Amino acid sequence: MNLRLLVCALFAAFAAQVSAHPGHPPTEHGMAHLLASPYHLVTLAVVGLVLIAIAKMVKHRIASGFLAVAGIVAMSAAAFRWIVPS
């Protein structure tokens, strides 16, 4: 599958989920809530996947590396909190 099409599909599929769930703004309960809620963890993992996919499309080496690292950190944080609950 074309990588650009895959990234567009990820954005379209999860655009409504960026807020994770309705009811409060992302900064209302702090970082502990963002890393404890399963809704937020799925969103964080998807954002990480999209960042990694975008990094593969970016031609500039430094920008690509930064995006890839940011994606890996986001996915790692989501995976760590999913495996090691508080």
Residue ranges of domains in the chain:
3-14+30-83
What pLDDT, in 10s, does the model give residues 41-76? 887 888 888 888 888 888 889 988 998 999 999 889
CB 77 within 8 A of CB 44: yes
Calpha distance 77→83 (Å, rounded):
10
Overall average pLDDT of the 16-24 stretch:
60
pLDDT surpassing 80 at residue 27: no
Quote the pTM value: 0.70
Better-scored residue on pLDDT, 74 or 4 = 74
Distance CA 28, CA 50 (A): 25
**Side-chain-facing half-sphere of 58: CA atoms under 13 Å:** 15
Give the pLDDT confidence score for residue 69 in this predicted structure: 93
Percentage of the residues of the chain whose pLDDT score is greater than 90: 8
